Each structure stands twice: as C-alpha cells, then as structure tokens.
Amino acid sequence: MKRDHIIFLIGRIHYKAQRLLEREMKARGIEGLAPSHGEILGSLIFKGPLSMTEIARIIDRDKSTITALVGKLIRLGYVEKRTHEGDRRMALVAVTKKGAALKPAFVAIAMKLRTLSYRDTTDDERDELYRLLSKINGNL
Amino acid sequence: MKRDHIIFLIGRIHYKAQRLLEREMKARGIEGLAPSHGEILGSLIFKGPLSMTEIARIIDRDKSTITALVGKLIRLGYVEKRTHEGDRRMALVAVTKKGAALKPAFVAIAMKLRTLSYRDTTDDERDELYRLLSKINGNL
DNA sequence: GCCTTATAGTTTGATATCAAACTTTTTATG
DNA sequence: CATAAAAAGTTTGATATCAAACTATAAGGC
C-alpha cells in the first residue's frame, strides 16, 4: 500500500482544516483573525483563564508568538490580561464579554468541521483513527 | 470545541513532523532552510523539473510564496530557473548538481520520519490509517 | 487578424511565527 | 540571607506566508 505519504497527507488535511476554520469564522463575522487566534479564544472559552505559557503549550507555539496573538485579541476586545496575584511574573488571560459571546459560533464551527471531516465514517473507524493518530503523535 | 478532536491531533503531528524535518536537515548540513524548502527540493529531486504553478499545487502554498521560496533556493545554489520553451509565461525549476547531491540526505530523512512515526504499529494499522486519512482528506 | 479572457509569475504590503537576547520575579542553594 | 539559577513574558529582527494588484504571454471567439 501507499502508506509512505502519511505525513504528507496529514499536512494537507491540516492545511485544509485551517482554511475551513478561517472561512467559517469570517462567515460568522469573526473577521481579521487567523486560526491561531481561534485556537486561543476556543481554549479560553472552554477551559477558562490561562497564562501565556499555558496557551503556548496548548496551541503549540512559541511564547513570543503568544505575546503577539494575545495582543491582537486584546486590541480587538475579545480578551483581557491581568497580572497573576501570587506570582507577579505570570499574566492571566481571560475572555471579555465580547469574547465569551463567541462561544455559540465556536461550537457551531467545531461541529461543522467534525461533521464534514467524518462524513461516511463509522464510529469504529473514528475510534480507530483517533487511537492510531494518538500513537503517531506519541511517537514524534 | 473538544481539544481531542482529530483535527487538533493532526495539527500537533504536523507541527512535530515539521520540527523534526528542520532538525534533521540541519543535522545534515542543510542549514537555513525551512520545511517548505525541503518539500520543494524533494519534489524536484524525485519528480524532475517543475513549473512554479506545479510546485505551488504540490506543496499547497500560494504561488507568490513559491516565488520567494524558489528565490532563496536559487540564491543558495540548489536550484535554477529557466523560461519554458514553447510557453514563455512559464518558468521551469530544476535542481543543480548541488541540489541533486542532497538526494541521499532526503531519502534518509524520509526513512527516519517514517520509522519514527510508525514505531509499534502493524502493517494492517498503517494501511488502515492511510485509508482513513485519505477519506478525511477527500471530505475536506 | 483583433480583442477579450485566461494563465503564469512577480511585486507589494501585511501578518504569523520563531529564535535569541533581555527584564522581572521567583525559587533554590550554600 | 545572598546570590545563582530558573521561570514568565516581552522585544527585536528575520522569514514564511497570504492576498491583492500587477505584468506578460497565450488561447479563443468574432
């Protein structure tokens, strides 16, 4: 079989998913944001306030990148940043009301991506795919 | 937005694979190149001369991005660009001797990535993973 | 043969991203 | 304690990337 190109396949899927996320956000009036901003907003909406380092770990970017991304989200009014009480090195980032209001849109977009990508697959196949991808992820 | 969605997993795998490629290229003296440059070089080495548009399609980037990437590869002496005879709009990009000399390194890196990511998986699992990912890719 | 449309590629401007150097605060160690 | 090491963020500089506007060539319709 042609299993040589799995990483290549993964690259293409990743790229397409990112494009879809951008389109869907735009279609819901969440304009001017890259998928990375969406990942941050989604993390904050569903997990609550996070430090810069935690965000960096979750979305897998350099912390200096997070500085820039969160800066933009602050300028747009979606999130706010406060100094952590107890450890003044840390900054805690949390969604504002405007940011929290995006939750339904994020749920809808996640659902759409999920439905679309999983079209014509059985539950067993989904489980197996997830299991195998987890293994690959652990191997790297 | 469930963070254990496969698209999220795929994003992480993609990211890790890119990092690994960068490290491995660097370790073999192919310095100052991003994975995208590696993708272009690999395509040219294994498929032969390609036009800018073909490269853009293969590595899934905007054509203006290809202009910049190929420009760097030219500056570094790995590839050269000629006007296509017959259709003077097109440019044909081909590896130089210096570029062709990278073939063994690319083969080794591809092998390493493959071996590492597929560790502890059976042939059947690999086939199944490839089949499922192809389906997802088609769905998007 | 023209003129319109399509195609190949580049240029320009903006943004995401990383890495390295740096600042500030906290923790560890002798 | 005092000082060194670690950790959290930011700044700076470089590069990859995209989108839109542009140039140049080719193809098609009348």
The whole-number Å distance from B17's CA to D16's C1' is: 17
Say if residues B41 and B83 touch (Cβ distance below 8 Å).
no
Say if residues B17 and A7 touch (Cβ distance below 8 Å).
yes
CB contact under 8 A, A2 and B116: no
Q: Output the pLDDT for position B71.
A: 96
Q: In terms of pLDDT, which residue wins out, A16 or A38?
A: A38
pTM: 0.85
Q: Output the pLDDT for position B4.
A: 55
Q: Output the pLDDT for position B3.
A: 44
The whole-number Å distance from B78's CA to C7's C1' is: 27
Count other Cβ atoms within 10 Å, centred on residue A1: 10
Q: In terms of pLDDT, which residue wins out, A22 or A121?
A: A121
Alpha helices in chain B (DSSP H): 6-27, 35-47, 52-59, 63-75, 97-100, 103-117, 123-139
Cα atoms in the 13 Å half-sphere on the side-chain side of A130: 15
Instruction: Pull the structure tokens for residue B138.
Output: 């088609």
Radius of gyration of chain A from its Cα atoms, rounded to whole angstroms: 17
**How many distinct helices (H) and strands (E) make up chain A?**
7, 3
Distant-in-sequence, close-in-space partners of B5: CB < 8 Å, separation ≥ 6? A110, A113, A114
List the pLDDT tens digit at each of the 140 positions of chain B: 344 578 888 888 888 888 888 888 888 888 889 989 999 999 999 999 999 999 999 998 999 999 999 999 999 999 999 999 989 999 999 999 999 999 999 899 888 889 999 999 999 999 999 999 999 988 88
Find and list the nucleotides of strand D having atoms within 7 Å of a protein beta carbon: 7-13, 15-21, 24-27
pLDDT above 70: percentage of residues in chain A:
97
Radius of gyration of chain B from its Cα atoms, rounded to whole angstroms: 17
Best interface-test mutation with A: which of B5, B6, B112, B135 has the largest number of A CBs within 10 A? Answer: B6
Distance between CA atoms of A104 and A101, rounded to whole angstroms?
7
- Give the DSSP per-residue string, B78-101: SEEEEEPSS-TT-EEEEE-HHHHT
CB contact under 8 A, A117 and B9: no
Q: Output the pLDDT for position B6.
A: 85
